[in-house]
Amino acid sequence: MKTVGLIGGMSWESTQLYYQLMNRMARERMGGQHSARLVIWSLDFAPIAAMQAAGLWDEATLVLVDAARRLERAGAEAIVICANTMHRMADDVAHSIGVPLIHVADVTAAALRAAGARRPLLLATRYTMEQAFYRERLRRAGVEVLIPAEPDRAKLQSIIYDELVQGRFKLASKQTVVAIAESAVRGDGADAIILGCTEFGLLVKGEDLPAPMFDTTELHAKAAMDFALG
């Protein structure tokens, strides 16, 4: 089994889900007492969130490059950034290390294509929905996504940063996410829902949504274990 390095803490709520999923997959695939070989560098999210809000992406890139290099020195044979938004600097991180970076958008696009999804709705942070880095990566992989209207993007941003990353999971917020998805299915013909924030899977489940759900955290964790187990 290869060792995977996780850049976590963004937020730790979802990082623990990566840890649980990957260890569970290792046990299921290899037998009862097996667990995943992982190295975790967990960042303090408050300074990162402040950099995001201020548009200080170059400074945030330096933080992630440093984390990836530390993980590589610690023995990681591949790197996973445990946050969709922080894939904004994935190319810079990948170029700074000598081991593979497993990109969340690539594995998500592969799953969408395999399922035949043609008009997936992307639910994520404002940065991930509005900036080009994520949508363009999906487009290059053959997936064109829909995003919610601006008022709904603002609601999602607030749910993520004011609630989910702080460990607050409200029924009203779950209902908001479901309503946004239902509107996109009815009005825009969305045929799949991308949970493009690593915390969303802690709030909503597939049975809550009106179209097939693609949870990027689960897909990313599976791809990391596929790599680890060869």
35 by Cβ neighbours in 10 Å (0-12 / 13-18 / 19+) ranks as middle
Q: Residue 160: give its domain's CATH number.
A: 3.40.50.1860
Angle at which helices 104-115 and 216-229 cross, to 10°: 100
Q: Alpha-carbon distance 143 to 146, whole Å? A: 10
Q: Residue 67 and residue 114: Cα distance in Å, rounded? A: 33
Same domain, yes or no: 91 and 111: no
pLDDT tens track of the chain, all 230 residues? Answer: 999 999 999 999 999 999 999 999 999 999 989 999 999 999 999 999 999 999 999 999 999 999 999 999 999 999 999 999 999 999 999 999 999 999 999 999 999 999 999 999 999 999 999 999 999 999 999 999 999 999 999 999 999 999 999 999 999 999 999 999 999 999 999 999 999 999 999 999 999 999 999 999 999 999 999 999 99
Same domain, 33 and 45: yes
pLDDT at 226 (0 to 100): 98
Indicate if 122 and 83 belong to the same structural domain. no
Write down the pLDDT at residue 36.
98
Q: How many domains does the chain fold into?
A: 2
Predicted confidence at residue 56, as pLDDT, reads 98
- Indicate if 166 and 117 belong to the same structural domain: yes
Cβ–Cβ under 8 Å, residues 225 and 28? no
Q: Are residues 207 and 110 in the same domain?
A: yes
Look at phi and psi of residue 2 and say left if phi exceeds 0, alpha if psi is from -120 to 50, else beta.
Answer: beta
pLDDT of residue 60: 98
Integer Cα distance of 21 and 7 in angstroms: 15
120 and 56 both lie in a single domain? no
Please tell me the number of Cα atoms within 13 Å of 140 on its side-chain side. Answer: 8
Expressed as residue numbers, the domain containing 158 is 104-215
